[in-house]
Amino acid sequence: MSVLVFVSMTPLGKGESVSKYVAKVVDIVDKSGLPYVLTPMGTIIEGESWDEVMEVLKKGFEELKRECSRISITMKIDYREGKSGRISAKVQSVQQKLGREIKTLKGKS
């Protein structure tokens, strides 16, 4: 099974630039060992189970909560039984159908 989650955790009321807070959450994601891709608008994380991914997101939320009294979270979740490695395979599938490489972000997979 594979769970792909696109997540954006944004502290509110902390000014225009929130990268120092984003970096704290990305550090937790990175240390989790799960495959992920950081994008300008959020992070995509892949895990073998719902609980595995949600535990990482919970840790990120708890870290932000220490300094932020208001947090906006956007998530999009794609569960698929019997598949793994989709964080890169989905992009490769589109490239194969186009017959060429397309612009992608370089990330862990």
CATH of the domain spanning 2-98: 3.30.70.930
Tens digits of pLDDT across the chain (109 residues): 799 999 999 999 999 999 999 999 999 999 999 999 999 999 999 999 999 999 999 999 999 999 999 999 999 999 999 888 888 888 899 999 999 999 887 644 4
| pLDDT score recorded for residue 47 | 96
| pLDDT score recorded for residue 106 | 66
First to last CA, the chain: 16
Whole-angstrom distance, CA of residue 34 vs CA of residue 74? 19
**What's the whole-model pTM score?**
0.87
Answer whether 7's CB lies under 8 Å from 59's CB: no
| pLDDT score recorded for residue 105 | 74
